[in-house]
Amino acid sequence: MTIDLAQFLPTFLEESYEGLETMETGLLNLQSSEDDSIHSIFRAAHSIKGGAGTFGFTQVTNFTHLVETLLDEMRDGRRDIIQSDIEILLQSVDCIRLLIEADRNESVCEDESINNVQILLNESLKSANTQTINESEDTNDSKSTNQQSWLIDFIPQPHLVQTGNDPIFLFNALADLGELRIICNTSELPVFSDIEPKELYLKWQIQLSTLSSTEKDIREVFEWVEDECILDITLLGTEAAVDKEQDLKSAPVASEPALDIKAAKEETTRTSLTDNDKPQTSAKTKPDVGSIRVGVDKVDILINLVGELVITQSMLSELGNDFDLSKLEKLTSGLDQLLQNTKELQESVMRIRMLPISFAFNRFPRLIHDLSIKTGKEIELVIKGEQTELDKTVMEQIGDPLVHLVRNAVDHGIESKEVRIANGKSPKGKISLDAYHMGGSIVIEINDDGGGINRQAVLNKAIEKGVVEPNSTLTDSQVFDLIFEPGFSTANEVTDISGRGVGMDVVKKNIQSLGGRIQVASEPGKGSSFKVNLPLTLAILDGQLVRVGTEVYIIPLISIVESLQTKTDLINRVSGNMLLYRLREDNVPVLPIYQLFNLEADNIEIDNSLLVVVESDGQKVGLMVDDLLAQQQVVIKSLKDNYQQVDGISGATILGDGSVAMILDIPGMISMALAQAQVAQKTAHNNIEEVV
């Protein structure tokens, strides 16, 4: 019977990566062998090694074995837990990660770190007196193809059955090796009244005729009871045994076992190859399908909801069988119920994709640890709100931007120890990560208590790069926003951590492509704060449907500030054919959608028209529309995947009547509008100040 274990490879991989994370966090917090975490670290390494062996991940097995040995000594208190060992172990975690990848692709990992760390591990292991157990293999193990007859004397100790062993099963197993003749010796059996029911009084003599089994094979059957019995195995005779023995004596003794080993090796590599074939191909054909762990409670809720949906459906279809107007009320209530069910179902399904943000946060302790060694700065990391849930796809894409922000905070934010002390701060810098929900979005804050952003340096750099006019007056936040400009870095020297100036613009672009935004605040001497706003999910959007001419557009509800009917006396016409609408103390540029998309609208005059005021990045714009329609949740379909990117449009959706509606890209539209308005706005400012 062949059993294909390939299907368990994904489970093993998932578990191993989890195990590595456990090891990493454990190691970072490890102080002494009293610590409980040493046990979980050891267990993780142990499981990885065990699983790796099964799947033929030999590089992983061999490497992890060293790690496990070291951890075992720490766990037993035979070895003091010292920082240098923890460093080596942390590096080993990285190595195991590489090796798992390599073994999975059936390649040899050539990363030099593997060798280096392996040497370190070995040195560390040697440095303490450890006893290595050398198990001597049975050498009197000659394989034979001749029929052999063995005599086995099996005298169990009386308590043998109390450990769950039963001679009858041992004989069954022996029967697989060849033909058996069993003689039971009952001479020790006491009189019935003296029998102790839990004791064994019998002994056996077994004659085994076998073609291929060796003494080792026989001993293996008795492996679990060898300490609880007297076992004598003698070779009764071999047909053609004389020849055999002569062969053995005349030929080099070592040759045969050596051959054996080789054959066995060949066999194992062959089987491991076939074993690995399947996961290989499947891993290659569909990369990164990924899987998520979902709590049983979430699944239970889904099942309940589906149950309710089925009930509603059957109610409605019954209603439809012989429908007349008297049942209209029932129909409406049924449809309401359907709406409710669908909504709940949708929410629950979305929740399945939600993961706690700790998945993105948990790499930071290690990152900070490594960076603080590299930079020589002492840094404390505080993580809050790691249970805040976020859509998996958003999570996957936010990881790298966050790493970049944290690296920046360490490198540029936190000052060196000397500077901190000189400035009267604690020598230990502090970086905090915080995540929380706000409305329909999630906010991630990265704060540091470092020196803050040097306003003048940023400004100088911007002027030097020609981004800003030399004499322009900018607010603090406008200046700080300049760090998101491409090719911008104020670090005097480029370090290998950050400072190459390829980053902040990419960070901002990545966050914007997720439909989020990033803000920065900073106070000289006190530190900087980066605030990342992200939508909870990318798949569904709460939208306001608006009509322009014959077209329906969707404006994301989250970006709408208010909708209003314009009043003539609040409209300012400024030069450059630009309209400004006075909204309390703001002047909002008006953007007629019909102009932007070249449509025929019902209403092309701004007087008494409908204005939807939207906001992005702190900038408000009034969108002129013909009509406000319903508000509803829409499923976002990518325009890029199905057609191509269009300026001012972020995607499309299909409405209830089957027609396609475009979703407006508010930040994109605002920057379009601002580009038009830039000249006009300056003059407008002056005008208004005169009026006021």
Partner 1 sequence: MAKFLIVDDSNSIRQMVSFTLKSAGFDVVEASDGVEGLEKAKGDQFDLVISDVNMPNMNGIELCQELRKLPPFEFTPILMLTTESSGDMKMRGKAAGATGWLVKPFNPEKLLATIKRVVR
Using the minimum distance from each CB to partner 1, give the nearer residue, 164 or 376: 164
Quote the least distance from Cβ 116 to partner 1, whole Å: 26
Using the minimum distance from each CB to partner 1, give the nearer residue, 134 or 492: 134
619-625 sheet: strands from edge to edge: 560-565, 610-616, 619-625, 586-592, 578-583, 571-574
Quote the least distance from Cβ 8 to partner 1, whole Å: 5
H and E: helices and strands count for the chain: 21, 22
Q: Please tell me the distance from the alpha carbon of residue 354 to that of residue 294, in angstroms, as a whole number.
A: 9
Cβ 543 vs Cβ 555: under 8 Å: yes
Quote the least distance from Cβ 195 to partner 1, whole Å: 16
Using the minimum distance from each CB to partner 1, give the nearer residue, 173 or 242: 173
Quote the least distance from Cβ 504 to partner 1, whole Å: 41
Quote the least distance from Cβ 10 to partner 1, whole Å: 9
* Distances in whole angstroms, Cα of residue 461 to Cα of each of 303, 467, 492, 646, 689: 59, 9, 11, 33, 31
Short-list 677, 495, 428, CA closest to 574: 677
Sign of the CA dihedral with 24 first, then 28, 33, and 34 last: negative
Copy the structure tokens of residue 146. 């001749």
Q: Please tell me the distance from the alpha carbon of residue 66 to that of residue 120, in angstroms, as a whole number.
A: 10
Quote the least distance from Cβ 40 to partner 1, whole Å: 7
Q: Please tell me the distance from the alpha carbon of residue 597 to that of residue 609, in angstroms, as a whole number.
A: 18
Quote the least distance from Cβ 615 to partner 1, whole Å: 47
Copy the structure tokens of residue 683. 């003059």
Using the minimum distance from each CB to partner 1, give the nearer residue, 170 or 482: 170
Quote the least distance from Cβ 422 to partner 1, whole Å: 48
Please, is 577 exposed, middle or buried when counting C-beta atoms within 10 Å of its C-beta (0-12, 13-18, 19+)?
A: exposed
E strand map for 186-257: 203-210, 229-238
The residues of the shown chain that bind partner 1, judged by CB under 8 A, are: 1-3, 5, 7-8, 11-12, 15, 39-40, 42-43, 46-47, 49-54, 61, 133, 135, 161-166, 169-170, 172-173, 176, 198, 221, 223-224, 227-228
Using the minimum distance from each CB to partner 1, give the nearer residue, 19 or 589: 19
Using the minimum distance from each CB to partner 1, give the nearer residue, 170 or 596: 170
* Consecutive H or E run containing 541: strand 540-548
Using the minimum distance from each CB to partner 1, give the nearer residue, 28 or 161: 161
Quote the least distance from Cβ 45 to partner 1, whole Å: 10
Quote the least distance from Cβ 23 to partner 1, whole Å: 14
Q: Please tell me the distance from the alpha carbon of residue 484 to that of residue 486, in angstroms, as a whole number.
A: 6
Using the minimum distance from each CB to partner 1, give the nearer residue, 14 or 336: 14
Q: Please tell me the distance from the alpha carbon of residue 552 to that of residue 656, in angstroms, as a whole number.
A: 12
Quote the least distance from Cβ 369 to partner 1, whole Å: 25
Q: Please tell me the distance from the alpha carbon of residue 154 to that of residue 134, in angstroms, as a whole number.
A: 28
In whole angstroms, what separates CA 309 from the centre of its chain?
33
Copy the structure tokens of residue 291. 């899987």
Using the minimum distance from each CB to partner 1, give the nearer residue, 11 or 333: 11
Copy the structure tokens of residue 59. 């590089």
Cβ 528 vs Cβ 448: under 8 Å: yes
* Consecutive H or E run containing 103: helix 83-104
Using the minimum distance from each CB to partner 1, give the nearer residue, 136 or 140: 136
Q: How far apart are the first and last CA of the chain?
A: 91
Sign of the CA dihedral with 221 first, then 227, 231, and 232 last: positive
Using the minimum distance from each CB to partner 1, give the nearer residue, 264 or 382: 264
Using the minimum distance from each CB to partner 1, give the nearer residue, 211 or 311: 211
Quote the least distance from Cβ 206 to partner 1, whole Å: 14
441-448 sheet: strands from edge to edge: 378-384, 428-438, 441-448, 527-535, 517-523
Copy the structure tokens of residue 52. 């790796």
Copy the structure tokens of residue 10. 């994904």
Using the minimum distance from each CB to partner 1, give the nearer residue, 49 or 79: 49
Quote the least distance from Cβ 118 to partner 1, whole Å: 19
